Structure 1
């Protein structure tokens, strides 16, 4: 099989890889913010539940979480698993996993803000929600951008774990071609695609970081 044919087939799987990437970010970033609120809550039960959830998600392999999310409806609730649920299970597992990591990133950013900012906003008549969304959150986003970039780059590579549920993303296709052709070339081509994807993501995040450095 020629290199051009390998690349064209990998492009088909690349679409699924990109879809997993963007859908995970779309849902895990806001969910992570909600989880960070629970983690910092003064309500002991809510704080304990959020802390336990984050601990479990960060302490167990994503591969295991994918398997649990996919098979749990059948083994726990006796529901029939349709073929269309496979991709949904991948997204659910990825979102639940990455939300836990983003929650801790949000928490570190929020807790790093000086208390004087809250006091000044209170003197100016801002409500708690106005203080957070208009004053605190914009500064937090600037501070947490580097660790968010690291997690985003990791996400690009983790999309290859979708093969656990036989989702035909790029890495799965590369493995199939490599096995069929008994050649390492498809895997090397896939590695190049992942690197290129990460290069684009890293460049975009660097651009955002520079845009947010408005005091320099």
Structure 2
């Protein structure tokens, strides 16, 4: 170590070491989570117990008997959410690229469409899709049915499209302008800069909000029950009616539906937080 004329030691700059990233692990349930799950289990089984005077728990038997049907309805909710995300993401990426384009007319149209569908109530968009799209089409003299669940997927894909468009625009805008300037100095065209330099850096910025959007659209698919789609909430109401409409089964049956959505969406939320920490998007 060197010293100054006065005999004081000189500071030494140590080489920079990249911090090691801990591998992703399944999140541990906290006390509040366990209390919530325990409360939900008590809600499912304890309601009937209290109303039956301490007798055997018929609510659990009813849930067990109808669980294959209810879980098939939950699988249909997942199917609608996945299809809505695929369709809405594809359209939203295109709309977001138009928002950052150079054509003023297309940029204005993309901005207007994004703001309209992003700020419209999801249930209203679902009603528009259900009643504005015909229930069948004629193609070369052949009648092709258009089921309600497909129209529901289109209705859910509209807010996904608008939010994905804003995610793309925000991710591109978050990059420093020096990226564009450096690419221009290297004689890259705007299209080459966008596809080879800008968008690859935006993927990690877009992934966490995209996953949050998927969780929201999954939970919103229960709104399809209002327009007659046989998903989990519709089947839950049918099971309740088939069991004689007993009031003591309301909380257990709908609590089971809520538990299914929680078990499915909670790991997605935790994995989203892990990605944010990994990509250091909060800095």
TM-score, length-scaled by structure 1: 0.85
Of residues 61-70 and 103-112 in structure 1, the stretch that sits farther from structure 2 once superposed is 61-70
Counterpart check, 1:137 vs 2:204: no
**Deviation (angstroms), 1:139:** 1.8
Secondary structure of 2:175 counterpart: coil
Counterpart check, 1:63 vs 2:123: yes
Which structure dedicates a bigger proportion of its chain to helix? Answer: 1
Unmatched segments (≥5 aa) in structure 1: none
- The RMSD of aligned alpha carbons is 2.7
Q: Which residue of 2 is the match for residue 97 of structure 1?
A: 159
Secondary structure of 1:114 counterpart: coil
Q: How many residues in Structure 1 have an aligned counterpart in Structure 2?
A: 213
Counterpart check, 1:2 vs 2:62: yes
Name the CA distance, whole Å, in 1 between partners of 2:276 and 2:242: 44
Alpha-carbon deviations, 1:96-131, whole Å to 9, x = none? Answer: 221101111111111111111111122334332232
Of residues 156-165 and 202-211 in structure 1, the stretch that sits farther from structure 2 once superposed is 202-211
Alpha-carbon contact 1:153-1:202 (below 8 Å) kept: yes
Matches within 5 A, 1:72-87: 72-74=132-134, 84-87=146-149
From 63, 67, 71, the counterpart of 1:11:
71
Name the CA distance, whole Å, in 2 between partners of 1:54 and 1:85: 27
Name the CA distance, whole Å, in 1 between partners of 2:127 and 2:145: 14
Secondary structure of 2:169 counterpart: helix
Q: Of the two structures, which has the highest relative contact order with CA contacts closer than 8 Å and spacing of 6 or more?
A: 1
Name the CA distance, whole Å, in 2 between partners of 1:168 and 1:126: 52
Name the CA distance, whole Å, in 2 between partners of 1:36 and 1:56: 14
Q: Which residue of 1 is the match for residue 174 of structure 2?
A: 112
Counterpart check, 1:193 vs 2:260: yes
From 126, 133, 157, the counterpart of 2:219:
157
From 77, 94, 110, the counterpart of 1:50:
110
**Deviation (angstroms), 1:48:** 2.4
